[in-house]
Every structure is written in C-alpha cells, then in structure tokens.
Structure 1
Amino acid sequence: MNQATLHQLKVFEAAARHGSFTRAAEELFLTQPTVSMQIKQLTKSVGLPLFEQVGKRLYLTEAGRELFATCRQIFETIAQFEMKVADLKGLKQGQLRLAVITTAKYFIPRLLGPFCQLYPGIDIALQVTNHEGILERMSGNMDDLYIMSQVPEHLDVNCQPFLENPLVVLAPLNHPLAKEKNIPIQRLADEPFIMREPGSGTRRAVQKLFDEHEVVVKVKLELGSNEAIKQAIAGGLGISVLSRHTLITDGQDVTILDVEHFPIPRNWYMVYPSGKQLSIVARTYFEYLLEAAKQFADKTTSSSYFHIEENS
C-alpha cells in the first residue's frame, strides 16, 4: 500500500460505491480506461483482487470491502481536517442552503439575522415548504440543512433537537371556552375545526392525538397557511391547533384554550442525511443555531414575547 495514491483511493471508492467503473468515470470526469488503470494499479499495491465480476455485475471481494470501509474513514478524516484548516484561516464565506418547514419561518429569520451579521461573507438560500416538500428536497440532497418538527422515519438521517415546538389550541378571544380550565379533549368534537392541509406535520401530530382519544372533529376549513388559519380563527370561523411559535408575529385576536393533553410536546430539529459531509458554512450555522436557540428560548418563556391574550 506504500505505492497507493490518494487519487487511486478516490477512484476505487467511487467505483465501489456505484458498483460500476462507468458511473465512477462519469462522477470523476475521467474516461473508463483511466478508471480501470487506476484500479489495476491499486490492486497491484494491495496484492489481492478488489473486485470480482459475476455476469454483468461487479462485486467487492473481502479485501475490497475492507478497503472501501478504510477509504470512507480516510476521506472523512481528511474532510474534518479541511474544515479545521478553513476554521483556522477564518474562511467563513460561501453559501448556506437552508430548507425549513412552514412554521419555522416565524423564528428562523430572527436567528438568521445575527448570523449574517457575524459572517457577512455567507449568502443564505432559504426555502420554506411543508413536511412533504422537505422530504422531497432531502431525498434530492438539495440543501445543506433542514429545519423540521418531525424527523422522517423512513430516511437515514442525522438529527439534533434545538428548540421546543409546542402545539396549542387556539380560539377567538370571545370564545365560550376561553375562561374554562382543563377542558376535556372530547369537547373539541363540538367545535368547528380549521385544519392545516394534508401533508402538514402539524396536522399529522394533531390527528394522531385525536385518534388516540377517539375524538372526531368537524373540519370546516382546510388551509395551507398558518396566517390564514389565525385570521379565520379571529374571524370566528372555528378553532385550530398550531405551533405556539406562530404567535410570535403581530398580535391576533386569538387565545390559547386550556385543553387536556395540550400542548402537544414537540421539538424543532436540525436534520441532514446520514453520510452527508457538512460544509464549513453548514457546520458553523449548525453550531451557531444550537447556542442561539437557547437564548431565543429564554426570551420566549415570557408570554409577553408572544403577541397574544392568554386566558388566566
């Protein structure tokens, strides 16, 4: 292995990952004969076959599997070293691609502002969508980090909770239940209900709780906007369940009802696919958000931070 080069290892890793010399060549912008030659030279250095071909398919040998795992460790270590060097050089510049769930738009911009002031060389590309939209973007590896309130179960991801995201029952200020305490959840079945659209993480969480307690609500409206739902509540069209963070913006004529089993405890998560190597910019924002969220949570513990009239 003393004669093996880093370039040969990169070619081998790509070929092993794709199970194809042709696809490795396409990824690395090399010709297929060049890939074959690099693998041949690496095989000679190792002294054992790295691939075996059965029919038209290419498989790793035992030595190949061991080398593939070693390559992953080597490249991860190199990437971490590059990040450290970039940190030492102060290269806090580039682009951050951030995709956030709809409700996160109420507080993420407040946390982005100070970050941009700290690192003016970083450009932010912010995408706001619902839960299904986030999953589509994540499957396509379109962003650096994803902010969501429900970690996908069918995708292999890394996740880090950073802020609480309680779901509360909202009603008009003059609602008959506004002054009551510990309202039975079954009482909600008597109220006209405003729901988020299908595909919303909030709707799934609410429906799960209702199903657990065999509560069937009368859905009067389905709306895809939290702002529209708050306006509909204020207009007396019904009650709804939304994240408490939707109340950070300008005041609405709504109140939080004291209903049993509410608030529904949830968290905000920073999520990215497993195996994805975060850029120095993404890693910097990741660490920044963990600290900034603590300060944000301290501010929001005071009800005065939320522009709302709560029953007392």
Structure 2
Amino acid sequence: MFKFLETFMVVYRTHSFSLAAQQLFITQPTVSNQIKQLESQLHTELFERKSRRESIPTEAADILYKRSAKILDDWHDINTEIKDLQTNEQSHVRFGISQTVSRIMFAKIANQISVSDPTIHYDVMVSNSEGVLSQLEEYKIDLGIIEKPLVTQNVRRTSIGKDQLVKAGAPTGTWITREPGSGIGYYTEQYFREADIHPDRLIHVNNSGLIRRIVSTGVGQALLSSKDVPTGVEVQTLGTAFIRDFYLLIRDDDLDDPLLKTVAEIIKLVNQL
C-alpha cells in the first residue's frame, strides 16, 4: 500500500505515467499496475487518461494526494520509532539541503550539532531549492535549508544567514549556471535581466561543485558564492542586490516539535559564531 501511495504521488505531480516511471526508476507497466491496484482498493478512478503522455487527476485523487504525504510520514515515524527501540537512538532528523548549503554551510551545522547534542542522529538529502521544498511538503524530510526565496502555504521560512554572490570566471561569452528550480539558477536569471546580458552560450549543470571546476578552467563565467570561488579566478562583486539569504524551512504543524525546535536553535547559533 505505501509503495502504491509513493507512486501515486509522483504520477499526481507529473500528470504522466511515463515521467513517473522515469523518476521512480521502474517501468511504466509497473506504475500502471500499482495505480490500478490502488484504484481497485479505493473503488474509484484516480486519473483520467487524456493521452499516452497526460493523465489528469480526478477529485478523488485530489483528496488522496492531500492525505498521502501525512500517511507516509506517519509510516516513516512508526518505522523510525521501532528502529530506535532496537538501536537505542532517541532523536532522528531528516534534513533536506540545497547544493550551495551542502558546500559552504552544512559542515558547520553538523559540527555544532555534535557539540551541542551528540544524541541527535540525522540523515541529509541534497537537492535544489525547489526539490527541498517539495520533499518537505511531502513529509520526506523534517527540515529544509535553501537559498532561493520560495513561499508556500503551511511552511514557515526563517532567514538564518546571508551570502554574497559574485561574478566569477573569464568573460568568454559563455555562462555556466544551475538547472531551473535551483537558487543559483534563479539569481543568474535575475542578473541576466538586470544587466541585460544575452550569453553567446549557456551551459546548465546540476552540480555546484562541477560549475566551480568548469569556471576554474577558464571556460566562462558563473554566479558563485563569495565563499566558494576557486583560487586564482577573476571575481567581480555584484553589490548588495545580490546578497541572498539562507532560509530554514519547517512545516507549520512541526513548529512545536521539541526535537526540531532544538535543532533549529542549533542551526541559528551556527550563524552567530
């Protein structure tokens, strides 16, 4: 049942059985079979098959989607509590962080957690900013840390630090940037608009570390954190308009969770040191 719900949620978001299969690394017939079994158990149709490429959610699917994330989160909590009984782990947090956060901030957070409360156990998933928010909304993570100023219902966003973006690299006419949905991608597009830049060539790379390495070879330019510029690379400061915030994300219904409140305070402490 839980595997069926996970598959259902991906189909619901993509409106496509084939895209869901690609994201889940399973075959399309497997996706179709799981949805059919779920529909059979619920005695209702969840998707209207408009074409081979598009499946439109029904009203029943809308209701199920709103509840599925919470059901899966509760199931995860049950598994975690049972595992904790076996391993004596008392505190466990699932982090979702952006790639920039993973490169320049999270190591400090990990160290501070170890110093402040070594009984806290955690896992970390790295994605782009929109991916982190999506994981939080779907109860796949407990806390998110991103740099793109995303807003959504039922999620509290708190600034936990500042970061200066700079233009780095050789002005060859080539720009390297992240994929849509990422923080760097968002700010690069903003810079292009404000500076009226039309790159001769635009390269999208879904890994911040690789962008940094490409820039270091002289291929072109990119926006990078001032804390993440390779040694010897030409840098131009962009000013206060490109000072961005790092944001801590937490669901509204978790604001009073004692463990998450403790971890949030530890994270805020890191940026005061």
TM-score of the two chains, using structure 1 as the length reference: 0.54
* 2:167 matches 1:169: yes
**1:1-312 alignment to 2 at 5 Å?**
93-106=90-103, 107-171=105-169, 175=170, 191-247=173-229, 252-259=231-238, 261=239, 264-295=242-273
Unaligned runs of 5+ in 2: 1-88
- Aligned AA for 1:103? T
Task: Please state how far the C-alpha of 1:100 moved relative to its aligned partner.
Answer: 0.7
Is the 1:93–1:281 contact (alpha carbons within 8 Å) kept by the matching residues of 2? no
Is the 2:148–2:182 contact (alpha carbons within 8 Å) kept by the matching residues of 1? no
Note closer, same or farther for the CA distance 1:238–1:164 as it changes in structure 2 (3 Å cut).
Answer: same
% of aligned pairs identical?
Answer: 19
User: d(CA) in 1 for partners of 2:120 and 2:254?
Assistant: 20
- SS of 2:148's equivalent? coil
User: d(CA) in 1 for partners of 2:102 and 2:256?
Assistant: 23
- Aligned AA for 1:255? E
Note closer, same or farther for the CA distance 1:144–1:264 as it changes in structure 2 (3 Å cut).
Answer: same
Is the 1:230–1:254 contact (alpha carbons within 8 Å) kept by the matching residues of 2? no
Note closer, same or farther for the CA distance 1:263–1:239 as it changes in structure 2 (3 Å cut).
Answer: farther
Is the 1:103–1:245 contact (alpha carbons within 8 Å) kept by the matching residues of 2? no
Task: Please state how far the C-alpha of 1:159 moved relative to its aligned partner.
Answer: 1.6
Larger Rg: 1
CA displacement, residues 101-141 of structure 1 (integer Å, 9 cap, x when unaligned) = 11101221222123123322111111111122112202202
Task: Please state how far the C-alpha of 1:278 moved relative to its aligned partner.
Answer: 4.4
User: d(CA) in 2 for partners of 1:155 and 1:219?
Assistant: 37
Task: Please state how far the C-alpha of 1:263 moved relative to its aligned partner.
Answer: 6.3
Note closer, same or farther for the CA distance 1:154–1:119 as it changes in structure 2 (3 Å cut).
Answer: closer
- Aligned AA for 1:101? S
- Aligned AA for 2:199? V
Task: Please state how far the C-alpha of 1:157 moved relative to its aligned partner.
Answer: 2.0
Question: Runs of 4 or more off by more than 4 Å in structure 1?
Answer: none
Which segment is superposed worse, 209-218 or 236-245? 209-218
Aligned to 1:75: none
Unaligned runs of 5+ in 1: 1-91, 176-187, 296-312
Task: Please state how far the C-alpha of 1:158 moved relative to its aligned partner.
Answer: 1.1
- Alignment coverage as a number of residue pairs: 184
- Aligned AA for 2:246? W
